[in-house]
C-alpha cells in the first residue's frame, strides 16, 4: 500500500479504485470542502479515462442525474457531497431510487462523530437521514493510520457495491474525514488502476410455473422489461403494458386496456393475472387483482416495495411457462388485442393521407389539396397530438422519458405498440428531478460502444418549472418538450374537481404558472422553440443536434 500524507486521500483513492476496478463508470461530484479528497481524485480518475466525471452544483439535481445514469446503464452511479444540508438535498432522488429498485452509491463526506454534538459549523446527523430508503448505510470513522485508511476505503467500496447490486437500491456511505483533507497523489499510483467489470451477484430466486390457458392476462408495469411481452406470447395472454414498462409492443398488446379490463366478457373470463413490475397508471388493475376468484402472481423487479394488491398475491422472481401459447392466443389474446387496435384506430385524430389529392392534375383540385394541407399544419396542438408526434419521431436507438404529468397517461391510453426505450420516474411519480433524470439517461446512453440517438423528455409545465435549474446540465442531443397547459391539469380528472370551490381549486390544485420558458432557455444557454401548431411541432422535433427546450402550447389540455 502507498502511504498518503492525508488519510482522507488514502481512503478516497482506495474507495474509488475499488469501484472503478469493479465496473462503476460514473461519478457525480458536488462542490464542498469536506469532500475535496474524493472530488480531486475523481477528476484525476476522469483524466485517465477511469471514470466519467459529472460536476453539478445542485445536490438535488445531482441525485437525479445519477439516478438517470443508473436507470439506463444498470450500473450503480456514485454521488459525492460535502457535509450539512447538501446531504438532505439527495433525499428525493434516494426515495425514487428505492421505490424503483435502482442502485446508487451516495458518499457524504462528514466531520468526525466526536463533533456532532458540539454544535460545530456545517455539522449535522447524516447517518439515518435516509431512513428505510437506503438498502445499506456505512458510517465510517476516521482511520488511525494510512494503512487503515486504504484498507477501509477498499472494504467499504466493495461492501457498498455488493449491497447496491444485490438489493437493487441506494446505499449510503458516510466517511468521517479529519485534517488534512487532501494531499498529492503520485501519477505512478494512479497508473496502477485498471477498470474492470461489475461483479456477478447471485440471488436466491423464487420461480412460479404457469400454464398457457385462456383466462390468463399479463400486466406490465414499471421495470417490467421486454420479458413481460415474451411471457404474454408464451402464455397466449393479452398484454396490458404501461407505456414506460419496456413491454409496450407486440401482437398481444392491448393499448385500450382501461376499457377492456372492465368489459363484462373479458372480466368474466379472467382467472389469472401475472403482474410484472409495478403498475402505476390506471385504476383498473387493482380491482381486477382483488377479485377472490382470480389468482395473482407478481414478478418483482427489485423495487423497494413490490406491488401487492392483496395478501393472496404470490411474489416471485421468474416464470416458467408450460403449454401451447400459440393455440391459446388465437382464441384469447389476439381477439382482444385486435379489438383494442380497432378502438384505437376509431379514436385516432390524425388526418388520413390524401393520396388522390396530392396526385391531382386539375389546378383547382391541387389548390384544394394545398389548402387542406395548410389547414392541417395550422391545427392547434392537443395532448394527443403531442404524444403521438413524439412517439412517431422516436426510434429504437433513441430514448423517450415521460415526466409525472397528465401527458404520460394520455400516452399510455392512446399510443400503439413500438419497441423503444421509454423511462419515467414512476417509483413515487414526483415532479422533481425529471430534467436531471432525462439528462442522466441521455449521458449513459451515449458511449463509444453504444452511440444512442436523441433523448426526448415529455414533461408538464409545472414539472419543468420545478426542475428548471437542471437545464444547466443539458448536453448532447436532448429535447426537453414542455406541454404547457398552465398548471396541473391532471387534477381536473380527479373527483375533487367536482366538489371543490372553483377559485380555490384553481389556486391550490391547478396552481397556474407564468414561467417565461424562453427566458429560462436563454439563461441556461440552450436553444428554444415555441410550438402552437401541428406543423411547428413536426419541425421542432427534427432539431436534435443540440439541447433544445420546446415549449408546446396546449390549447385544450
pLDDT at 193: 97
* Confidence bin at 446 (pLDDT 50/70/90): confident
Question: Can you list the positions of beta strands (E) in 381-499?
Answer: 399-402, 421-424, 446-447, 450-451, 455-460, 478-484
Burial group, residue 164, by CB count within 10 angstroms (0-12, 13-18, 19+): buried
300, 316 Cβ separation under 8 angstroms: yes
Mean pLDDT on 54-67: 98
Q: Is 73 helix (H, G, I), strand (E, B) or coil?
A: helix
Mean pLDDT on 504-510: 85
In this model, does residue 448 exceed pLDDT 70?
no
* Confidence bin at 358 (pLDDT 50/70/90): low
In this model, does residue 440 exceed pLDDT 60?
yes
Question: Of the given ranges (3-17, 165-179, 343-357), which has the lowest mean pLDDT?
Answer: 343-357
pLDDT at 353: 56
Q: What is the pLDDT of residues 309-332, one digit of tens each?
A: 999 999 999 999 999 999 999 999
Pick the CATH number of 378-553 from 1.10.1040.10, 3.20.20.70, 3.40.50.970, 3.90.1150.10: 3.40.50.970
238, 341 Cβ separation under 8 angstroms: no
What the block records as the C-alpha cell of 368 is: 384544394
Radius of gyration of the chain (CA): 26
In this model, does residue 351 exceed pLDDT 80?
no
In this model, does residue 299 exceed pLDDT 60?
yes
Q: What is the pLDDT of residues 1-52, one digit of tens each?
A: 677 999 999 999 999 999 999 999 999 999 999 999 999 999 999 999 999 9
Q: Which residue has the cell 419515467?
A: 424
pLDDT at 382: 95
Please tell me the distance from the alpha carbon of residue 330 to that of residue 334, in angstroms, as a whole number. 6
Please tell me the distance from the alpha carbon of residue 125 to that of residue 506, in angstroms, as a whole number. 40
* Confidence bin at 495 (pLDDT 50/70/90): confident
Mean pLDDT on 117-133: 88
**Same fold: 7-190 with 207-347:** yes
CATH of domain 207-347: 3.40.50.1220
Please tell me the distance from the alpha carbon of residue 12 to that of residue 18, in angstroms, as a whole number. 10
CATH of domain 7-190: 3.40.50.970
Q: What is the pLDDT of residues 363-375, one digit of tens each?
A: 666 667 567 778 8
pLDDT at 505: 82
What the block records as the C-alpha cell of 421 is: 426505450
* Confidence bin at 506 (pLDDT 50/70/90): confident
Q: Which residue has the cell 477528476?
A: 43
Q: What is the pLDDT of residues 181-213, one digit of tens each?
A: 999 999 999 999 999 999 999 889 999 999 999
Domain boundaries, the chain: 7-190, 207-347, 378-553
Amino acid at each position: 500500500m502507498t502511504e498518503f500524507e492525508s488519510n482522507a486521500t488514502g481512503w478516497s483513492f482506495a474507495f474509488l479504485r475499488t469501484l472503478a476496478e469493479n465496473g462503476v463508470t460514473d461519478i457525480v461530484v458536488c462542490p464542498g470542502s469536506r469532500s475535496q479528497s474524493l472530488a480531486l481524485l475523481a477528476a484525476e480518475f476522469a483524466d485517465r479515462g477511469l471514470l466519467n466525471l459529472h460536476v453539478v452544483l445542485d445536490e438535488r439535481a445531482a441525485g437525479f442525474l445519477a439516478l438517470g445514469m443508473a436507470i439506463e446503464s444498470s450500473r450503480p452511479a456514485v454521488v459525492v457531497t460535502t457535509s450539512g444540508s447538501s446531504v438532505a438535498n439527495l433525499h428525493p432522488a434516494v426515495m425514487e431510487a428505492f421505490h424503483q429498485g435502482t442502485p446508487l452509491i451516495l458518499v457524504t463526506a462528514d466531520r468526525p462523530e466526536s463533533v456532532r454534538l458540539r454544535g460545530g459549523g456545517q455539522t449535522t446527523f447524516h447517518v439515518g437521514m435516509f431512513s428505510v430508503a437506503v438498502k445499506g448505510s456505512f458510517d465510517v470513522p476516521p482511520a488511525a493510520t494510512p494503512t487503515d485508511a486504504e484498507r477501509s476505503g477498499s472494504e467499504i467500496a466493495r461492501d457498498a457495491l455488493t449491497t447496491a447490486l444485490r438489493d437493487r437500491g441506494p446505499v449510503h456511505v458516510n466517511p468521517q474525514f479529519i485534517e488534512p483533507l487532501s494531499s498529492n497523489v503520485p501519477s505512478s499510483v494512479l497508473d496502477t488502476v485498471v477498470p474492470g467489470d461489475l461483479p456477478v451477484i447471485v440471488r436466491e430466486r423464487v420461480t412460479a410455473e404457469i400454464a398457457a390457458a385462456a383466462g390468463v392476462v399479463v400486466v406490465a408495469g414499471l421495470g417490467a422489461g421486454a420479458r413481460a411481452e415474451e411471457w404474454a406470447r408464451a402464455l397466449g395472454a393479452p398484454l396490458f403494458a404501461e407505456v414506460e414498462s419496456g413491454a409496450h409492443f407486440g401482437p398481444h398488446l392491448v393499448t385500450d386496456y382501461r376499457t377492456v379490463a372492465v368489459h363484462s366478457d373479458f372480466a368474466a373470463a379472467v382467472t389469472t393475472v401475472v403482474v410484472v413490475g409495478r403498475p402505476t397508471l390506471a385504476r383498473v388493475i387493482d380491482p381486477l387483482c382483488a377479485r377472490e376468484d382470480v389468482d395473482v402472481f407478481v414478478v418483482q423487479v427489485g423495487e423497494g416495495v413490490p406491488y401487492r394488491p392483496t395478501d393472496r398475491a404470490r411474489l416471485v422472481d421468474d416464470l416458467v411457462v408450460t403449454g401451447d401459447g400459440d393455440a391459446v392466443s388465437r382464441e384469447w389474446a389476439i381477439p382482444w388485442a385486435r379489438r383494442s387496435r380497432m378502438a384505437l384506430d376509431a379514436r385516432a385524430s390524425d388526418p388520413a393521407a390524401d393520396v388522390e389529392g396530392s396526385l391531382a392534375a386539375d389546378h383547382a383540385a391541387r389548390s384544394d389539396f394545398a389548402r387542406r394541407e395548410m389547414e392541417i399544419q395550422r391545427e392547434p396542438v392537443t395532448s394527443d397530438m403531442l404524444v403521438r408526434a413524439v412517439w412517431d419521431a422516436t426510434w429504437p436507438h433513441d430514448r423517450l422519458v415521460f415526466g409525472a404529468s397528465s401527458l404520460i397517461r394520455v400516452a399510455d391510453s392512446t399510443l400503439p405498440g413500438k419497441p423503444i426505450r421509454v423511462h419515467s420516474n414512476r417509483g413515487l411519480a414526483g415532479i422533481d428531478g425529471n430534467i436531471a433524470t432525462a439528462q442522466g439517461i441521455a449521458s449513459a446512453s451515449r458511449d463509444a460502444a453504444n452511440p444512442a440517438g436523441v433523448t426526448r423528455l415529455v414533461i408538464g409545465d409545472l414539472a419543468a418549472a420545478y426542475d428548471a435549474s437542471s437545464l444547466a446540465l443539458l448536453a448532447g442531443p436532448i429535447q426537453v418538450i414542455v406541454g404547457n397547459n398552465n398548471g396541473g391539469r391532471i387534477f381536473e380528472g380527479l373527483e375533487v374537481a367536482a366538489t371543490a370551490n372553483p377559485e380555490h381549486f384553481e389556486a391550490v390544485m391547478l396552481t397556474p404558472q407564468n414561467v417565461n420558458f424562453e427566458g429560462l432557455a436563454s439563461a441556461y444557454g440552450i436553444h428554444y422553440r415555441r410550438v402552437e401548431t401541428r406543423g411547428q411541432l413536426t419541425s421542432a422535433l427534427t432539431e436534435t443536434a443540440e439541447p433544445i427546450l420546446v415549449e408546446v402550447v396546449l390549447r385544450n389540455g
